[in-house]
Amino acid sequence: MPTIVIASPKGGAGKSTTAVILGTELAHAGAEIVMIDCDPNASLRMWAERAPLPIRMSILSNIGESEIVRTIKQHDQDGKIVVVDLEGVASRLVSRAISQADLVITPMRATTLDATIGVRALALIAEEEEALDRKIPHAVVFTMTKAIKSKQHSGIAESLATQGVDVIDPPLMERAAFSALFEFGGSLRSMPAQGNMEAAIENAASFAQAVYKRLAGEG
């Protein structure tokens, strides 16, 4: 089964939030999910400690460089979807995880700084593709976006499209419920209502569906 790696060298881009939203939504849809927390900040572990994990989901933490490839291979052979949340730096651990990915997702806010640093993740993927002599599917998702796109957002999206970069639609909007996942744990469907929950759940479900289509070769 597929391995999805969430990678960005930019802190605060929404890697862990993206991982939690994706993992919980895929689990809700019926998939067996293994979350691997490789971030020294242990954001996934802290999220998991807040509330019982959704059904069909497990989490592994403190996975280092020497263990990451073996851990991914062990679990993606169990018929599960593996979601890896990486540290926010360019490192050998990150490169080794990317080498095992069926899809790499790079979250970025629609700002020039995030886009500039986020492109470094695309360069890391290109380096692994060259080393492995195979394509590694990858895509960008904009995070913490507003309902009305700014000129900056539109310009960055157009620039990425011109470079042939796959951009996931829909983006992950700026939602109170998304940030509150790390306060309450669990999923959008189990946590106390925060803001417009219906819109947050719809956004999250559509994002997960867009990712799944890419895994199925439909993106």
pLDDT confidence bin for 90, thresholds 50/70/90: low
pTM > 0.75: yes or no: yes
Could you report the per-residue pLDDT of 28-80, keeping only the tens digit for each? 999 999 999 998 888 999 999 999 999 999 999 989 899 999 999 988 776 78
Question: Are 49 and 73 spatial neighbours (Cβ–Cβ below 8 Å)?
Answer: no
pLDDT value at 219 more than 70: no
CA gap 85, 83 in Å, rounded: 7
Burial class (CB in 10 A: 0-12, 13-18, 19+), 127: middle
Could you report the per-residue pLDDT of 134-152, keeping only the tens digit for each? 999 999 999 999 988 899 9
CA gap 173, 55 in Å, rounded: 25
What is the pLDDT averaged over residues 144-173? 93
pLDDT at 148 (0 to 100): 87
Percentage with pLDDT > 70 across the chain: 98
Percentage with pLDDT > 90 across the chain: 77
pLDDT at 103 (0 to 100): 97
pLDDT value at 24 more than 90: yes
Rg value, the chain, Cα: 16
What is the pLDDT averaged over residues 17-21? 97
Give the 3-state secondary structure of residue 131: helix
pLDDT at 29 (0 to 100): 95
Mean residue pLDDT of the chain comes to 92
pLDDT at 62 (0 to 100): 87
Ranges 79-93, 113-127, 146-160, 178-192, most confident: 178-192
pLDDT confidence bin for 117, thresholds 50/70/90: confident
Could you report the per-residue pLDDT of 170-186, keeping only the tens digit for each? 999 999 999 999 999 99
pLDDT value at 13 more than 80: yes
pLDDT at 41 (0 to 100): 86
Residue that has been written with the tokens 């998939």 in this structure? 31
pLDDT at 118 (0 to 100): 82
What is the CATH code for 3-215? 3.40.50.300
